[in-house]
Structure 1
């Protein structure tokens, strides 16, 4: 058998023009639609390989690949970024002149690229190598290729992971400043606010300073309470209307207008202190998920127009990984990308959005081992050609003796002084006086066993309930409150392609800490073109050493 690699590049022409015979003027009524619509875009697939390949449909993969690919993928392992992932690399092609036109005239930024691997089988009777079917090729990488870099005889294409789809900015509406719900001159050019999920004490955007009209969200939202300087009894709710400008609210009251295009409030009296609200935001489509992973998924689909085909089919089933109520508010003053939203909603939760080998996005959670965890593969000396230890980030090693996980983020900090209403109760002042309250996990015994144990700073999260934050803090304590080791394991590339980021593996080697039953998580992968091996980084989360080492190196078997 002979191993080969195939590369597929989709050239997407966004400005496709369909040439046809147009009927003469007057042959059909003005304004009627054509029966055959013009194509909005066309896709042409370029096919290459390193050894030559022809699929079952007789489509040739031209042998122009000189360096199949360099690839680096990984999950962030730091105390303040548990939830990030990265992926990048490159491929190199021989350019004999046939690719010049594509380099010069084709828009080649963020084009889909797929790298596959297969094995040619020798037909000994006929003395020829047989190519496998396209469906039998194993996916190695699926993502995007950014701007092509031509040389004299080569063409290098930098690779980006599927997460690069999230580099786009949120598709929000902009105030035109023409008055009414379009805003006055004070907000001209500003994005409308976005509210998704449950939030605490946000400051709505004042879009009409004359009529005291505020916008809460660009989608439907339920307002739990309205406060003036932290006091909820001064301005009372007087009803919901379809046109907030049709009538003025009575003094001391406010009206709400809610629709698929936004939520607004109008006050009947000029406020003396700052106006804030507690609210629950939905989406323009009317969807109102509460689970943090469901909110993120819906935002990717609606607010960033990510095609559903780029989300893993198991995402909805995996939302139970984080059954926690959450939410966030963006007031429109900053540019927000999909990457920003992922980092904000998953901050501190120990969950990463990871691109699979098929180019799908799926959530992966870092958890301590338990009896329900199943491993994908067992790695022993038969599979590993080399193993070396790697130092964990200093924020996670030595072990952490305390985790502080924030909850119910306060978007408008209001401390005692002229900004607070005189009747604001002490209970409300305690809530709005700080940005975050914390759920805490701690183990004082770690301070005695380790000379300088880690104590990460408080982590801001999108969680809304104290109990959920405590669950996250306890999970971090269980995982990172004991000694953990990170290993660089070199294996044949065929074995690495059977694993993906976030997979659990069993590993056993003749090195201290791995000489017994051990379970780890694949957290990174490094492949170099032309090499027969790949390097995996495996975080060991549970081990049963053959020797009776106690303390932090001995697992909590129960």
Structure 2
């Protein structure tokens, strides 16, 4: 049986309570837990009728139908989960009406359980709440009326990431708020890095021409100012307010709000090096999503971010214009970790580094002729198959290239200023002869800042995709699929005839997707071997 909790707001209500933006809250302070607000009710329905602490009306006609897919190619977009619920005649039973209510971006939780049977009394029994397992927890989109009821589209919490990351915007009223033509323009944002490995060549925005005040971020510490790639100005350090006093001819100063002031008119393009907030790419990712975007806390798995930072302690950082959607903004950070942002069945988004399975790994489940219904191959597209002969990882992004640096700029720095990326490379030239046409992947563009970290990622990509891989659709009973998560290590042991050598003796793989249909006895898992 299935039960669903659907939040719905009368006349629109208000959005769930989430975190405050950077500009209004101390940096990296966790937001409060997600909570409904302003006229939000919970509609409770089930397919067979269930009563726990509250009744769940038997109006769930179909669903959930859920698909989860991980984008396998490095640098590709993050994974997504989607589906729908269908309700029969909502409103037929008190407390279940959708009329005049809004479900867009509201939380939905679907759970499943097995009914028992009381042989002595001769009737079926409901499972206790403690025995229910999560099928889906995420967000609803706007419900759609049907002649026989309503359909509620479902999305994983990643739907929240469609919002822009720029919270603070120029008012255009002069001074620190910029001239009128900047009104409504987001402040630029720089996150990550450190004093020794800063975010490089960050462009600046002119806030006040008369005072020569620029903005390079909303908060952070600059390490160097350049004019056409050359450090021709002398930094005199931090001041309380960049507008308060000129640093003097040939000098520059900065304040904690992300403003810099130059003491004399620049004769070329001004750029900055600097850093801000967390240092590790995984922690920058967490802060950008939770603190910056205000994603309700229950929709993000904090432990996974901590574990990823420990497992992949790569230094990362980036400069954004503030106009990017959160989904686009986090992409170079995910690429830096070789990770995907996946949604667990319980609803929390979590970064998952996709790596070759280590030799010490142990399977949490075995799928063979006794536990699986069928195993069938799924095509892997280029550049993942055939295996690539090389993987190149871009790091140390030059955010603002300089075509004509000043004469004093050294050759190595000239080279950096002329190209967007430095690269680290993994190669297996033998793949060029093993395969008629080895994979030729594009440069993986990342927010990594250091050469060693970039080489570590390149080596990891080579270990994963420099050898033949297989993708398999494993059909199993629905109950077996519901207890599996993205990233679980499983073993497939299946007769090799027709499926290629390797599965007959058992092969380890990791779950990278699944598909289930409400009410169906079987579901499928997508397993990368």
**Which is greater in Rg?**
1
The residue that corresponds to 1:127 in the other structure is 122
The residue that corresponds to 1:230 in the other structure is 229
Q: Does 1:323 align with 2:317?
A: no
The residue that corresponds to 2:251 in the other structure is 253
Q: Kindly report which structure 2 residues correspond to 1:422-433, keeping only aligned pairs within 5 A, or say none.
A: 422-433=407-418
Q: Normalized against structure 1, the TM-score is what? A: 0.86
Q: What is the CA–CA distance in structure 2 between the aligned matches of 1:97 and 1:61, rounded to whole Å?
A: 13
Instruction: Output one character per residue of 1:233-274: Cα deviation in whole Å (capped at 9) or x when no partner.
Output: x2101232112222222110011111xxx2111111101011
Q: What is the CA–CA distance in structure 1 between the aligned matches of 2:321 and 2:301, rounded to whole Å?
A: 30
The residue that corresponds to 1:25 in the other structure is none
Q: What is the CA–CA distance in structure 1 between the aligned matches of 2:464 and 2:298, rounded to whole Å?
A: 33
Secondary structure, counterpart of 2:99 in structure 1? helix
* Residue in structure 2 matching 1:176, options 167, 171, 176: 171
Instruction: Output one character per residue of 1:539-558: Cα deviation in whole Å (capped at 9) or x when no partner.
Output: 00xxxxxxxxxxxxxxxxxx
Instruction: Output one character per residue of 1:312-345: Cα deviation in whole Å (capped at 9) or x when no partner.
Output: 242223322321001111124xx32221222231
2:395–2:422 Cα contact (<8 Å) kept? yes
The residue that corresponds to 2:480 in the other structure is 495
Q: Does 1:473 align with 2:461?
A: no
Q: Kindly report which structure 2 residues correspond to 1:75-474, keeping only aligned pairs within 5 A, or say none.
A: 75-81=70-76, 84-95=78-89, 97-98=91-92, 102-198=97-193, 199-219=199-219, 221-232=220-231, 234-258=232-256, 262-282=257-277, 289-315=278-304, 316-332=306-322, 335-347=323-335, 349-415=337-403, 417=404, 420-474=405-459
Secondary structure, counterpart of 1:217 in structure 2? coil
Instruction: Output one character per residue of 1:179-198: Cα deviation in whole Å (capped at 9) or x when no partner.
Output: 11111234222111111112
Closer, same or farther: CA 173–467 of 1 in aligned 2, 3 Å: same
Q: Alpha-carbon deviation of 1:109?
A: 0.9
Q: Does 1:72 align with 2:67?
A: yes
Q: Which runs of 5+ in 2 are unaligned?
A: 15-35, 194-198
Q: Alpha-carbon deviation of 1:105?
A: 1.1
Secondary structure, counterpart of 2:258 in structure 1? strand
Q: What is the CA–CA distance in structure 2 between the aligned matches of 1:430 and 1:171, rounded to whole Å?
A: 32
The residue that corresponds to 2:25 in the other structure is none
Closer, same or farther: CA 257–348 of 1 in aligned 2, 3 Å: closer
Q: Alpha-carbon deviation of 1:349?
A: 3.7
1:186–1:207 Cα contact (<8 Å) kept? no
Closer, same or farther: CA 202–178 of 1 in aligned 2, 3 Å: same
The residue that corresponds to 2:56 in the other structure is 61
Q: Which runs of 5+ in 1 are unaligned?
A: 17-38, 283-288, 541-558
The residue that corresponds to 1:24 in the other structure is none
Instruction: Output one character per residue of 1:527-547: Cα deviation in whole Å (capped at 9) or x when no partner.
Output: 12331100111100xxxxxxx
Q: What is the CA–CA distance in structure 1 between the aligned matches of 2:3 and 2:420, rounded to whole Å?
A: 52
* Residue in structure 2 matching 1:51, options 48, 53, 56: 48
Secondary structure, counterpart of 1:499 in structure 2? coil
Q: Normalized against structure 2, the TM-score is what? A: 0.90
Q: Alpha-carbon deviation of 1:102?
A: 4.1
2:336–2:448 Cα contact (<8 Å) kept? no
Q: Alpha-carbon deviation of 1:428?
A: 1.6
1:114–1:139 Cα contact (<8 Å) kept? yes
1:353–1:363 Cα contact (<8 Å) kept? yes
Instruction: Output one character per residue of 1:285-304: Cα deviation in whole Å (capped at 9) or x when no partner.
Output: xxxx1111111111112210
Instruction: Output one character per residue of 1:337-383: Cα deviation in whole Å (capped at 9) or x when no partner.
Output: 22122223112642011110100111212111213323221111111
Closer, same or farther: CA 254–534 of 1 in aligned 2, 3 Å: same
Secondary structure, counterpart of 1:155 in structure 2? strand
Secondary structure, counterpart of 2:376 in structure 1? strand
Closer, same or farther: CA 410–161 of 1 in aligned 2, 3 Å: same
Instruction: Output one character per residue of 1:459-489: Cα deviation in whole Å (capped at 9) or x when no partner.
Output: 1110000100000000000110011000111
Q: Alpha-carbon deviation of 1:60?
A: 1.3
Secondary structure, counterpart of 1:317 in structure 2? helix
Q: What is the CA–CA distance in structure 1 between the aligned matches of 2:429 and 2:366, rounded to whole Å?
A: 36
Q: Alpha-carbon deviation of 1:128?
A: 1.7
Secondary structure, counterpart of 2:372 in structure 1? coil
Q: What is the CA–CA distance in structure 2 between the aligned matches of 1:482 and 1:110, rounded to whole Å?
A: 41
Q: What is the CA–CA distance in structure 1 between the aligned matches of 2:73 and 2:288, rounded to whole Å?
A: 26
1:441–1:473 Cα contact (<8 Å) kept? yes
Q: What is the CA–CA distance in structure 1 between the aligned matches of 2:162 and 2:377, rounded to whole Å?
A: 34
Give the number of equivalent residue pairs.
496
Secondary structure, counterpart of 1:429 in structure 2? helix
Secondary structure, counterpart of 1:347 in structure 2? helix
Closer, same or farther: CA 149–213 of 1 in aligned 2, 3 Å: same
* CA RMSD in angstroms, aligned pairs only: 1.8
Q: Alpha-carbon deviation of 1:390?
A: 0.6
Larger deviation: 164-173 or 125-134? 164-173
Q: What is the CA–CA distance in structure 2 between the aligned matches of 1:394 and 1:171, rounded to whole Å?
A: 35
The residue that corresponds to 2:507 in the other structure is 518
Q: What is the CA–CA distance in structure 2 between the aligned matches of 1:235 and 1:217, rounded to whole Å?
A: 19
